[in-house]
Structure 1
Amino acid sequence: MRIALVVFTLVLAVSCNKKQALAAPNIIIINVDDMGWKDVGFMGSEYYETPNIDYLSSLGMVFTNGYASASNCAPSRACLMTGQWTPRHGIYTVSPSTRGNSEDRKLIPIKNTHTLSPKHKTLPQVLSENGYVTCHAGKWHLSDNPLEYGFDVNIAGGHNGLPRSYYPPYKNVKIEKGNSQYLTDLVMENALKFVDTVQKPFYLNYSPYAVHVPIMAVDSIVPKYEKKSPWNGQGNAAYASMVDNLDRNIGLLVKKLKERSLFDNTLIVFTSDNGGLYGITKQKPLRAGKGSYYEGGIREPFFFVLNGKIQPNTRSDVPITNLDVFPTVLKYAGIDVARLHLDGHSLAPVLEEEVKIFERPLFWHFPIYLQAYNVNDNENRDPLFRTRPGSVVRKGHWKLHYYFEDDAIELYNLFNDIGERHDLAKTNPKKVKELLNILKKWWKETNAPIPKTKNPEYAHKIL
């Protein structure tokens, strides 16, 4: 009898362990708005203080070559939600695509898609179909209502790309009132209610409006940064208070997960939708910032955490993009991706250190114009635009920029020149030809629209 009881206990323990091992992980994607590559401590900032984010990053793998798939908000978010390159969904910017003075635009840009088409299968839809409870918290920016795209709960998400105010009344942000006043705090307060009550495996798309403009200080935090010396172009105390406050809120999220014993079975992805806003913050040695396709506009802080699968305190130089989040999440959720048309790749082999090399070309396509914020202080190709119509491809350490207005090409070796200061196009025609052929093949595969119509209002001033 005693032997039978022991055997039964062992079988039960094994069964429980198997169920635990097979339990679908909770998913949290933290997609910060306009946070630059070096706007956090774990990426080297000596001005901004982000102890909670730094701690979280230490529990998993940090990617030093992590990219957004676009250099501004809406297209990057559309790529993340669909797992597809921009030509497939047609969202290239925040409408319209004719930004900047018409007389300075040589071409008629491709018309922008303002709302994500419901024909696209989104990440929350797939997770919802596979037993997940899904919650969006914060900025959505792709339609009027995220509930129509697979989310069960919507906290403050709409078509707006920024709040008119971080203090009440928030005007264009609809959110349930709570104990908090500052919008970043209130979004997290409501998100914590969701985490505290959900009983099934869940997906939380935490996408705070912070740290997007308007730059509205958290007054209690500002004095700390006013006492600090600026560092490498970072010295805006009001913006720093927003970063600091966001970090505090992420700390509250981690605390809640641990209180509910959910942390160890939660896959956490941390990134930003595009580069930091140049002039408010800088990402030296990276060139330029949000809206540009130089590194400062697209390279992001990026890490993954999952206890038992991803070793803590690990780093990778493998170039990745936020397109890879969709297939990676589904891999760890145990969901088959075979029927989905995803342009990214599961990063599980890299995250679990099965491979060190994970080489494939990465692409960016922007057949549109984005005006410069400050013609007197920028690191763009010319002072009038952060972006002129073109495409970019990166393969290995090499990165090629191609411009549609004049067929101009820039070539950089990012290993030797991360700041993209030394154009090697004329001295390395072989590499130019190789990358250009890869880019042209990609244009054809994705049916990428290329602007060719001349603008009759162009004043022939600058090129």
Structure 2
Amino acid sequence: MIKKYSWTIIFSLFLSLLICCKPKYNNKTAKKPNIILINVDDLGWKDLGVMGSSYYETPNINALAKQGLTFTNAYAGAANCAPSRACLISGLNTPRHGVFTVSPSDRGHKKTRKLIPIQNTKHLNNSIYTLPEMLKSSGYLTANFGKWHVGANPNKQGIDYNIGGSDRGNPGKDGYFSPYNIDFIKNGPNGEYLTDRLTNEAITFMQKAKDTSFFVYLPYYSVHTPLLGKRKLIEKYKNKKGDNKQNNATYAAMIESMDENVGKVLHALKAYNLEKNTLVIFTSDNGGIRQISNQDPLRAGKGSYYEGGIRVPLIIKWPKHITPNTVSHQIVSQLDFYPTLQAITKPKKSNTLLDGIDLNPILHGETTKVRELYFHFPVYLQNYSKGNDGSRDPLFRTRPGSVIISGSWKLHHYYEDNALELYNLKDDLSEQHNLADLNPQKTKELYKKLDAWRLKTNAPTPTEKNPYYSSDFEKDKIISFNK
């Protein structure tokens, strides 16, 4: 086990060896832009000052937004951790890689599930040509600092250097403070904060790799549960007035620590004279947990395919390419990161099968045509133990279904009852008014597109009835939950 050895020493020696063996860029050859992708875990769409929060304090991310382009209609590839990250790293939508949820797929009480769900694939298959592998083909050094969650070892999926990333989905009990529970990391001093440590490791890598082109993937474990923040910050927010939507002092402390560390990364870019040639992407892997931080007007939260589960913050900064302090309302997806970075870096080996689009025209201020986004979730994801988060029923964050977003229109199709829900997000961002019966023409149009996409991607659909299902048991559970 790597934990038994001084990973920092091994890492530094290995890094120095590879960098000295890399071809040097001369002044006649423009160095490809460095890429930093910060992917926060479970950060909600409205959990930043720049996105409208008055309780959480995020001055460094607010400053990043002033230096770059903020997207108001950005979406994750899926509504919870593993499938979202699999989509981002592979550039493929869920039917193509089979990672639909955090295993298993039959979550929730068996007597409340009408269908037998599609079997889930736990990790990305190592045969998939990943984003880091593509960037390696472009001459990049690649590094991961934090939650990987799409395989047991990032080194087998295109990452040269890895600190803290494996198949773990959270840091475990008391895991935000050293001694740590995660893999591929050496314990720091007792009480060291994990978010600080991952940032310091990333900055060390950047300093050592500054003479070549590098890709830093910084997927913080924060702000995923268990909620653990620094004591002084928790006390600060206990003394700050929130509201009935955002008022969790520990969660606020975690956000501030994350923001502070984003600031450290941005400061390091300036200190190492890397800022002008570095593209920075800041986002979250899925929507926030509604019971922790309400995302109104968005409905529901993490795990749901209503807007609260899939709409995420997104800021991109790229000096001399992106106009500072700008906002885009165009629909974009984390599936777009792969084709966008591939177009920028021009690898020797390109990936020809990708489900996103090249965002470079949008980054340079152009308006693109209306596009469709698709989501496929043929499995079950049970509710949280406390409170109804605005899902269709209180027992599940979502039941099996698919979704299409086309411009301002959004159609849900649920498999258990073959129900259709149509919303106009321009007029009804909260998804409260189902227009499926009032606008049958639009419903039919979007359903036809959704069905064609499912056929094109060989999306598996659950059809087999669950013999354990009991409508009486389900009704009793719902009544009990609502008491």
Contact 2:68 2:326 in 1 (8 A): yes
Map Cα deviations across residues 192-222 of structure 1 (whole Å, 9 max, x no partner). Answer: 1111111310000000100000001211111
What is the distance in 2 between the residues matched to 1:214 and 1:223?
18
Shift of residue 335, structure 1, vs aligned partner: 3.5
Aligned ranges for residues 43-442 of structure 1 at < 5 Å?
Answer: 43-164=51-172, 165-178=175-188, 181-198=192-209, 199-231=211-243, 233-335=245-347, 339-353=351-365, 355-374=366-385, 376-442=387-453
Output the CA distance in 2 between the equivalents of 1:54 and 1:429.
Answer: 42
Quick one: structure 1 residues 375 and 162, their matched pair in 2 at CA, closer, same or farther if it must change by over 3 Å?
closer
What is the Cα deviation at residue 18 of structure 1? 6.4
2:36/2:217 contact within 8 Å kept = yes
Aligned-residue offset at 1:115: 1.6
- Quote the Cα distance in structure 2 between the aligned partners of 1:232 and 1:72: 25
Q: 1:456 aligns with which of 447, 463, 467?
A: 467
Determine helix, strand or coil for the equivalent of 1:27.
strand
* Structure 2: distance between partners of 1:335 and 1:303: 24
Structure 1 residue 338, shift from structure 2 partner: 5.7
Indicate if the aligned counterparts of 2:180 and 2:187 stay in contact, CA closer than 8 A.
Answer: no
Distance of aligned partners of 1:60 and 1:36 in 2 relative to their CA distance in 1, 3 Å threshold: same
Partners in 2 of 1:226 and 1:358 — Cα distance? 46
* Match in the other structure for 1:32: 40
- Residues 135-169 of structure 1 show CA distances to partners (whole Å, capped at 9, x for unaligned) of 01100011110000011000100111001111122
User: Post-superposition shift, 1:223?
Assistant: 1.9
Contact 2:40 2:223 in 1 (8 A): yes
Q: 1:130 Cα deviation (Å)?
A: 1.7
Per-residue CA deviations over 1:434-457 (Å, capped at 9, x if unaligned) read 000000000011000000000000
Question: Which residue type is aligned with residue 299 of structure 1?
Answer: R
| TM-score normalised by structure 2 residue count | 0.90
User: Percent identity at matched positions?
Assistant: 49
Corresponding residue for residue 3 of structure 1: none
Counterpart of 1:182, as a letter, is Y
CA offset at residue 375 of structure 1? Answer: 6.0
What amino acid is the match of 2:299? R
Amino acid at match of 1:158: S
Q: C-alpha distance in 1, partners of 2:387/2:31?
A: 55
Could you tell me which runs of 5 or more consecutive residues in structure 2 were left unpaired when the two chains were aligned: 1-25, 476-483
Query: For 2:114, what is the secondary structure of its paired residue?
Result: coil
Query: What SS is found at the alignment partner of 1:154?
Result: strand
SS at match of 1:349: helix
Aligned residue type for 1:387: T
Kept in 2, the 8 Å contact 1:226–1:237? The answer is yes
Between 1:298-307 and 1:367-376, the stretch displaced more is 367-376
Which one-letter code corresponds to 1:75 in the other structure?
P
> How far is 1:231 from its partner?
3.2
C-alpha distance in 2 between matches for 1:219 and 1:54? 24
Shift in CA distance, 45/53, structure 1 to aligned 2, threshold 3 Å:
same
TM-score scaled by structure 1?
0.94
* Runs of 4+ displaced beyond 6 Å: none
SS of 1:410's equivalent?
Answer: strand
